[in-house]
Chains A and B, each alone.
Chain A
């Protein structure tokens, strides 16, 4: 008789992290992306430490942003002690297959 289909397992409001985590496509937020100069980079990792989204990937000699989640805030670029990261407008990459 009830129109509501009960698909919540518990009586109370519990969330279950064994289900897929909620995730936003924050990569599409940015208007510019960090570009790392691998030669200038000294692998200190400050970009990875200061990155709010913690999306810098450790490549064992340098770091690269995970573009799925990078919001383009620019902190990595500003904090890099070697100025090894440049913030480049997304428009420069729109001809690439994968943005």
Chain B
């Protein structure tokens, strides 16, 4: 007979505040973004100001007429304006002598594409706010279109698979690495299967933003858009880490370290098989994905040796 362990997982200790969101939100069942939103708010507390943009998250960050889906202060803007709006709010409060926590919260479509210029500008100027990207590798809210973090070969509604075309022809941008190369005080990757790691990074980001931009890139797969069952979301995150597809690392001013190492990585095909957006890939096409994932991993590994974190 198993002895009951009556102690809850230590991740519960990270929660500083109640969940400020309403109980019933307009997000798909099993959506990792929903977990990320509620988790972030519980860890960072109720004094944060969300800055959001039209996206899957906007459906719950923005109010409808006079009512809201959550109790926090927020500022809504367009994808072009997220990093800059977060800057404006932070700068005004800095002028009046208050250190506040602004959390710009967007998908990869904003961070990698249409909002990249202002994000890069804010990073260069070292603005004092937290920027969280939930990377579901596409524009999901508008119907699963390709973004510049969509991996090579992936099927999306604008890179479909047919006689003449075979999914996304490009390998995509390595956004977290690009952000780390701005030498901001903090840039890190995280995902929803490793909650202890995610919580630590959220708390570290809140501290590091006092020195400048803190950037978190969270792998957030989309059951609806990628093609997997709603109960597999966490498993997909975990497999992405275990196959080295999405390594967990952090960088302080360009100095890198892994926060989680998988000693014996699983083959990438274990990850690809879980997700239907890849199920058309030929052996050669899979090899391209494997190559890209290996290069990205070895890049971080190299940086941990070339510019190790103290």
A and B in direct contact, judged by CB atoms within 8 A: yes
Q: Is B160 among interface residues, defined by CB-CB distance under 8 A?
A: no
Determine the distance from Cα of A89 to Cα of B70 in the docked complex, in whole angstroms.
31
Stretch touching chain A among B30-38, B78-86, B203-211: B30-38
Interface size band for A: 35 or more
Given contacts A43-B7, A52-B233, A53-B25, contact A75 B30 (CB under 8 A): yes
Of residues 40 to 90 in A, which have CB atoms within 8 Å of B's CB atoms?
42-46, 48-55, 58, 61, 66, 68-69, 71-75, 77-79, 82, 87
Given contacts A52-B35, A74-B231, contact A21 B69 (CB under 8 A): yes
Determine the distance from Cα of A51 to Cα of B230 in the docked complex, in whole angstroms.
11
* B8/A45 in contact, CB under 8 A: yes
Determine the distance from Cα of A29 to Cα of B191 in the docked complex, in whole angstroms.
26
**Out of A20, A51, A74, which one reaches B67, CB within 8 Å?**
A20
**Out of A22, A72, A74, which one reaches B69, CB within 8 Å?**
A22
Q: Is B56 among interface residues, defined by CB-CB distance under 8 A?
A: no
Q: Is A15 among interface residues, defined by CB-CB distance under 8 A?
A: yes
Q: Is B17 among interface residues, defined by CB-CB distance under 8 A?
A: no
* A23/B22 in contact, CB under 8 A: yes
Q: Is A8 among interface residues, defined by CB-CB distance under 8 A?
A: yes
Q: Is B19 among interface residues, defined by CB-CB distance under 8 A?
A: yes
Q: Pick the most buried of B35, B66, B72: most chain A CB atoms within 10 A of its CB.
A: B66
Q: Is B195 among interface residues, defined by CB-CB distance under 8 A?
A: yes
Determine the distance from Cα of A71 to Cα of B180 in the docked complex, in whole angstroms.
37
Determine the distance from Cα of A21 to Cα of B23 in the docked complex, in whole angstroms.
9
Q: Is B88 among interface residues, defined by CB-CB distance under 8 A?
A: no
Q: Is A6 among interface residues, defined by CB-CB distance under 8 A?
A: no
Determine the distance from Cα of A79 to Cα of B231 in the docked complex, in whole angstroms.
9
How many chain-B residues does the 8 Å CB contact rule pick out? Answer: 46
* A74/B30 in contact, CB under 8 A: yes
* B30/A43 in contact, CB under 8 A: no
Of residues 39 to 73 in B, which have CB atoms within 8 Å of A's CB atoms?
39, 42, 62-72
Q: How far is the CB of B68 from chain A (nearest CB, A)?
A: 4
Q: Is A2 among interface residues, defined by CB-CB distance under 8 A?
A: no
Q: Is B24 among interface residues, defined by CB-CB distance under 8 A?
A: yes
Q: Is B9 among interface residues, defined by CB-CB distance under 8 A?
A: yes
Given contacts A8-B65, A73-B230, contact A21 B22 (CB under 8 A): yes
Question: Chain A residue with minimal CB distance to B38?
Answer: A54
Q: Pick the most buried of B12, B32, B39, B68: most chain A CB atoms within 10 A of its CB.
A: B68
* A73/B231 in contact, CB under 8 A: yes
* A29/B9 in contact, CB under 8 A: no
Q: How far is the CB of B229 from chain A (nearest CB, A)?
A: 7
Interface 0/1 of B246-286, CB less than 8 Å to A: 00000000000000000000000000000000000000000
* B230/A22 in contact, CB under 8 A: no
Q: Is B181 among interface residues, defined by CB-CB distance under 8 A?
A: no
* A30/B29 in contact, CB under 8 A: yes
Which of chain A's residues have a CB closer than 8 A to the CB of B64?
15, 22
Known: A8-B65, A21-B70, A45-B11. 10 other contacts (CB 8 A): A17-B71, A17-B72, A19-B67, A21-B22, A21-B71, A22-B68, A42-B2, A49-B9, A54-B35, A71-B30
B interface vs A, CB < 8 Å?
Answer: 2, 4-9, 11-12, 19, 21-27, 29-32, 34-35, 38-39, 42, 62-72, 192, 195, 229-235
Give 12 pairs: A residue, B residue, CB < 8 Å, sorted on A: A15-B68, A17-B63, A24-B22, A42-B2, A44-B8, A44-B9, A51-B35, A53-B34, A54-B42, A58-B8, A68-B24, A82-B2
A interface vs B, CB < 8 Å?
Answer: 8-9, 14-17, 19-27, 29-30, 42-46, 48-55, 58, 61, 66, 68-69, 71-75, 77-79, 82, 87
Chain A to chain B: the 9 pairs with minimum beta-carbon distance, closest first: A15-B63, A74-B231, A73-B30, A24-B24, A71-B29, A73-B29, A26-B24, A52-B34, A45-B8
